[in-house]
């Protein structure tokens, strides 16, 4: 008694959605490279030479997690880490040729996978799907970062 209906709990739904995506990714895209790893490759294609922390920020991974992901990609020879000569704390990241090739290959497969994944929704529903999730996620993130006010107060 007093049990709750989990299908109306956004957290439970979010988890199921992510699991479903994970499984489809494994069968349709790659068993080697994961979706977060692809996100990192993609960021470095757009902005080569970024440092680790910034890449993490772009793809939404904290400093610990991004370190692990980068380390795996480095071990697989998909990217290079070079100490920043301007700032000895940073490492600058850059894809290798193999990394670029891998990104290209996975981009095609990812597009196919996304189509299959979203097939149950009409085009308008897909737009709505993105919009609703983005708004909820953005708002929740904003709750943590007290938010940059329009005018910086000292």
Partner DNA sequence: CAGAAATAATCAGTGCCCTGACTAATTGAG
Partner DNA sequence: CTCAATTAGTCAGGGCACTGATTATTTCTG
The rounded distance, in Å, linking the Cα atoms of 127 and 119 is: 12
50, 93 in Cβ contact below 8 A?
A: yes
Buried residues in 48-65 as b, exposed as e (16+ CB within 10 A): eebbbbebbebbebeeee
From residue 80 to residue 119, the character string flagging contacts with DNA as x (rule: CB under 7 A) and all else as - is -------xxxxx----------------------------
Cα dihedral 23, 106, 52, 151 in deg (nearest 10): -90
Q: Taking the complex as a whole, how short is the minimal distance between the CB of residue 115 and DNA, in angstroms?
A: 21
Tokens matching residue 67: 């370190």
First to last CA, the chain: 53
Applying CB under 7 A, does 7 fall inside the site for DNA?
Answer: no
Applying CB under 8 A, does 146 fall inside the site for a copy of itself?
Answer: no
Applying CB under 7 A, does 62 fall inside the site for DNA?
Answer: yes
Q: Rule CB under 7 A: which residues touch DNA?
A: 15, 18-19, 22-23, 26, 34, 36-37, 51-54, 60-65, 67-72, 87-91
Q: Rule CB under 8 A: which residues touch a copy of itself?
A: 1-4, 6-25, 27, 35-36, 39, 42-43, 45-46, 59-60, 103-104, 107, 110, 114, 116-121, 125, 128-130, 132-141, 143-144
């Amino acid at each position: 008694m007093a049990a709750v209906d989990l299908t109306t709990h956004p957290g439970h739904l979010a988890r199921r959605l992510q699991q479903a995506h994970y499984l489809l990714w494994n069968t349709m895209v790659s068993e080697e490279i994961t979706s977060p790893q692809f996100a990192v490759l993609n960021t470095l294609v757009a902005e080569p030479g970024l440092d680790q922390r910034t890449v993490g920020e772009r793809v939404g991974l904290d400093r610990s997690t991004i370190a692990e992901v980068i380390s795996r990609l480095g071990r697989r020879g998909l990217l290079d880490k070079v100490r920043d000569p301007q700032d000895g704390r940073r490492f600058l990241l850059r894809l290798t040729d193999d990394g670029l090739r891998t990104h290209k290959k996975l981009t095609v497969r990812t597009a196919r996978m996304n189509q299959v994944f979203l097939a149950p929704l009409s085009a308008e529903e897909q737009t709505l799907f993105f919009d609703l999730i983005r708004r909820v996620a953005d708002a929740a993130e904003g709750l943590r970062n007290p938010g940059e006010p329009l005018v910086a107060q000292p």
